[in-house]
Structure 1
Amino acid sequence: MRKLLVAAAALTLGMGAMTAQAAPSVSAPLIERTKFFGNPSRSQGRISPDGKWLAWIAPRDGVQNIWVAPIADPAKAKPLTDEKKRPIRSYFWAPNSSQILFVNDKGGDENFLLYGVDVTSSVQTTLTPFEKTRVQVLNISREVKDRILVGLNNRDPRWHDVHSLDLASGKLTLVFQNDGFGDFTLDEQLRVRGGSKPRADGGVDYYQIVDGKPGDKPVESIGFEDAGATGPIGFANDGYTLYWVDSRGRDTSVLLAQDVTTGARTVLGESPKADVGDAMINPKTGKVEAYAVNYLTTEWKPLDPAVNGDLEFLAKNLKGEVQVTSRTDADDLWTVAVDPVTAPSALYLYDRKAKTLNKLYVTRPELEGATLAPMHPVEIKSRDGLVQASYLTLPPGSDSDGDGRPDKPLPMVLLVHGGPWGRDVYGYNGQHQWLANRGYAVLSANFRASTGFGKSYVNAGNLQWGAKMHDDLLDAVDWAVKSGVTTKDQVAIMGGSYGGYATLAGLAFTPDVFACGVDIVGPSNLNTLLSTVPAYWEAGRKQMYRRMGDPGTPEGAALLKERSPLTKADQIRKPLLIGQGANDPRVNQAESDQIVKALQAKNIPVTYALFPDEGHGFARPENNIAFYATAEHFLGRCLGGRAEPFGAALAKTSMTVPHGAAFAPGLEAALKAKVGQP
Structure 2
Amino acid sequence: MDANTPLIPRRHIFGNPERACVRISPDGQHLTWLAPLDGVMNIWLAPSDDLDTARPITRDTHRGIQSHLWAPNGRVVLYDQDRDGDENWHIYGINVESGQCLDLTPIDGVAAFVAKLSYHHPDSLVVGLNDRDESLHDLYVINVLTGERRLLVENPGYQLITVDRDFQVRLGEKMEADGSVQRYRFEREEWRPFDRIPVEDSMTTYIVGFENDPDQLLMVDSRDRDTAALVRWNLASGKSETLLSDERADVSDVMIQPVTHTVQAAAVEYERLEWTPLAAGIENDLAYLNTVCDGDFSVVSRTRDDRQWIVAYSSPEQPGRFYRYDRANKTTDFLFNSRPDLENAPLSPMHPVIIPARDGLNLVSYLTLPLESDPDRSGVPSAPLPMVLLVHGGPWGRDSYGPDAKHHWLANRGYAVLSVNFRGSSGFGKAFINAGDREWAGNMHNDLVDAVDWAVEHGIAQRDKVAIMGGSYGGYATLASLTFTPDVFACGVDLVGPANLITLLESIPPYWATIFDMFANRVGDPRTEAGRAFLRESSPLTFVDRICKPLLIGQGANDPRVKQQESDQIVAAMKENDIPVTYALYPDEGHGFVRPENALSFNAIAEHFLATVLGGRVEPIGNDLEGASLHIPEGGQYIQDLTLDQGSST
Aligned residue type for 1:475: D
Match of residue 178 from structure 1 = 155
Aligned residue type for 1:332: R
Change (3 A) 1:127 1:212: farther
Aligned residue type for 2:254: A
Match of residue 277 from structure 1 = 252
Residues 531-559 of structure 1: CA deviation (Å, up to 9, x unaligned): 00001001211011100110011111001
1:406 and 2:344 correspond = no
Pairing of 1:158-557 with structure 2 (within 5 A): 158-215=135-192, 218-557=193-532
Contact 2:171–2:183, Cα closer than 8 Å, also in 1: yes
| Whole-Å separation in 2 of the counterparts to 1:350 and 1:260 | 36
Deviation at 1:517, TM superposition (A): 0.3
Aligned residue type for 1:514: F
Count of residue pairs the alignment pairs up = 650
Deviation at 1:674, TM superposition (A): 9.4
| Whole-Å separation in 2 of the counterparts to 1:627 and 1:571 | 26
Any idea what SS the aligned residue of 1:637 has? helix
Any idea what SS the aligned residue of 1:153 has? strand
Match of residue 627 from structure 1 = 602
Residues 448-481 of structure 1: CA deviation (Å, up to 9, x unaligned): 0000000010110101011110000000000000
Deviation at 1:196, TM superposition (A): 0.4
Any idea what SS the aligned residue of 1:594 has? helix
Change (3 A) 1:75 1:212: farther
1:106 and 2:92 correspond = no
Match of residue 54 from structure 1 = 31
1:613 equivalent among 583, 588, 595: 588
Aligned residue type for 2:125: I
Deviation at 1:26, TM superposition (A): 5.8
Match of residue 57 from structure 2 = 80
Pairing of 1:27-38 with structure 2 (within 5 A): 27-38=4-15
Which moved further from structure 2: 143-152 or 495-504?
143-152
Deviation at 1:340, TM superposition (A): 2.4
Aligned residue type for 1:496: G
| Whole-Å separation in 1 of the counterparts to 2:57 and 2:647 | 36
Contact 2:633–2:646, Cα closer than 8 Å, also in 1: no
Deviation at 1:262, TM superposition (A): 1.3
Structure 2 residues without counterparts, runs of 5 or longer: none
| Whole-Å separation in 2 of the counterparts to 1:464 and 1:328 | 45
1:146 equivalent among 118, 123, 127: 123
1:70 and 2:38 correspond = no
Residues 480-534 of structure 1: CA deviation (Å, up to 9, x unaligned): 0000001210100000000000000000111111000000000000000000000
Deviation at 1:259, TM superposition (A): 1.6
Deviation at 1:27, TM superposition (A): 4.8
Aligned residue type for 1:569: V
| Whole-Å separation in 2 of the counterparts to 1:282 and 1:597 | 54
Structure 1 residues without counterparts, runs of 5 or longer: 1-23
Contact 1:27–1:396, Cα closer than 8 Å, also in 2: no
| Whole-Å separation in 1 of the counterparts to 2:161 and 2:238 | 19
Any idea what SS the aligned residue of 1:400 has? coil
Contact 1:197–1:206, Cα closer than 8 Å, also in 2: yes
| Whole-Å separation in 1 of the counterparts to 2:189 and 2:502 | 38
| Whole-Å separation in 1 of the counterparts to 2:584 and 2:83 | 20
Deviation at 1:614, TM superposition (A): 0.1
| Whole-Å separation in 2 of the counterparts to 1:526 and 1:378 | 32
Change (3 A) 1:504 1:26: farther
Match of residue 12 from structure 1 = none
Deviation at 1:130, TM superposition (A): 0.5
Deviation at 1:671, TM superposition (A): 4.8
1:128 equivalent among 96, 105, 128: 105
Contact 1:646–1:670, Cα closer than 8 Å, also in 2: no
Question: What TM-score do the two structures reach when normalised by structure 2?
Answer: 0.99
| Whole-Å separation in 2 of the counterparts to 1:674 and 1:334 | 49
| Whole-Å separation in 1 of the counterparts to 2:535 and 2:472 | 17
Any idea what SS the aligned residue of 1:66 has? strand
Match of residue 645 from structure 1 = 620
Contact 1:388–1:445, Cα closer than 8 Å, also in 2: yes
Any idea what SS the aligned residue of 1:523 has? coil
Deviation at 1:29, TM superposition (A): 0.3
Any idea what SS the aligned residue of 2:172 has? strand
Contact 2:76–2:145, Cα closer than 8 Å, also in 1: no
Aligned residue type for 2:490: A
RMSD: 1.3
| Whole-Å separation in 2 of the counterparts to 1:93 and 1:523 | 37
Contact 1:647–1:670, Cα closer than 8 Å, also in 2: no
Does 1 or 2 have the higher relative contact order (CA < 8 Å, sep 6+)?
1
Which moved further from structure 2: 232-241 or 88-97?
232-241
Any idea what SS the aligned residue of 2:44 has? strand
Deviation at 1:240, TM superposition (A): 2.0
Any idea what SS the aligned residue of 1:489 has? strand
| Whole-Å separation in 1 of the counterparts to 2:391 and 2:409 | 15
Deviation at 1:158, TM superposition (A): 0.6
| Whole-Å separation in 2 of the counterparts to 1:566 and 1:339 | 39
| Whole-Å separation in 2 of the counterparts to 1:292 and 1:27 | 41
Match of residue 41 from structure 1 = 18
Pairing of 1:564-643 with structure 2 (within 5 A): 564-643=539-618
Any idea what SS the aligned residue of 1:426 has? coil
| Whole-Å separation in 2 of the counterparts to 1:30 and 1:103 | 36
Contact 2:217–2:235, Cα closer than 8 Å, also in 1: yes
Question: What TM-score do the two structures reach when normalised by structure 1?
Answer: 0.95
Match of residue 132 from structure 2 = 155
| Whole-Å separation in 1 of the counterparts to 2:591 and 2:641 | 26
Residues 372-416 of structure 1: CA deviation (Å, up to 9, x unaligned): 000000000000110100000001111022110000000000000
| Whole-Å separation in 1 of the counterparts to 2:5 and 2:399 | 25
Residues 588-624 of structure 1: CA deviation (Å, up to 9, x unaligned): 0000000000100111110000000000000000000
1:137 and 2:111 correspond = no
Any idea what SS the aligned residue of 2:125 has? strand
Question: Sequence identity of aligned pairs in percent?
Answer: 50
